[in-house]
Amino acid sequence: MGRVTARRRVHHVTTADVVARPETLVVEEPLEIRVDGKPITVTMRTPGSDVELAQGFLLTEGIVGGRDDILSVRYCRGATEDSSGYSQNTYNVLDVTLAPGVPAPDVDPTRNFYTTSSCGVCGKASLDAVRLISKHAPGDDPATVSAETLAGMPGKLRGEQKVFAATGGLHGAALFGTDGTVLVVREDIGRHNAVDKVVGWALENRRIPLSDTVLLVSGRASFELTQKAVMAGIPVLAAVSAPSSLAVDLAGQSGLTLVAFLRGDSMNVYTRPDRVTN
pLDDT of residue 87: 47
Residue 22 lies in a domain: no
Residue 81 CA to its chain's centroid (Å)? 32
Rounded to whole angstroms, the Cα distance separating 18 from 78 reads 41
Higher pLDDT, 194 or 136: 194
Count of domains for the chain: 1
Could you tell me how many residues make up the chain? 278
Q: Could you list the residue range(s) of the whole structural domain that residue 157 is in?
A: 147-275
Residue 14 lies in a domain: no
Given the residues 79, 119, 132, 165, select the one marked as catalytic: 119
pLDDT of residue 1: 53
Residue 35 lies in a domain: no
Residue 161 lies in a domain: yes
* Active-site annotation holds for 119: yes
Q: What is the DSSP string of the chain?
A: ---SEEEEEEEEE-SS-EEEEEEEEE--EEEEEEETTEEEEEEEE-SS-HHHHHHHHHHHTTS-SSGGGEEEEEE---S-B-TT-PBP--S-EEEEEEPTTPPPP---TTS--EE-SSS-----SSHHHHHHH-S--GGG----EEHHHHHHHHHHHHHH-HHHHHHS--EEEEEEETTS-EEEEEEESSHHHHHHHHHHHHHHTT--S-TTEEEEESS-B-HHHHHHHHHTT-SEEEESSPBPHHHHHHHHHHT-EEEEEEETTEEEEEE-GGGEE-
Is the per-residue pLDDT at 91 higher than 90? no
Higher pLDDT, 19 or 2: 19
pLDDT of residue 77: 67
Residue 173 lies in a domain: yes
Residue 164 lies in a domain: yes
Residue 153 lies in a domain: yes
**Full-model pTM:** 0.86
pLDDT of residue 269: 98
- CATH number of the domain encompassing residue 219: 3.40.140.10
Residue 237 lies in a domain: yes
pLDDT of residue 142: 97
- pLDDT 10s digits, 136-182: 889 999 999 999 999 999 999 988 877 655 666 688 999 999 999 99
- Cβ–Cβ under 8 Å, residues 254 and 139: yes
pLDDT of residue 27: 85
pLDDT of residue 6: 82
Of the candidates 275, 276, 257, the one whose C-alpha atom is nearest the C-alpha of residue 266 is 276
pLDDT of residue 267: 98
- pLDDT 10s digits, 210-254: 999 999 999 999 999 999 999 999 999 999 999 999 999 999 999
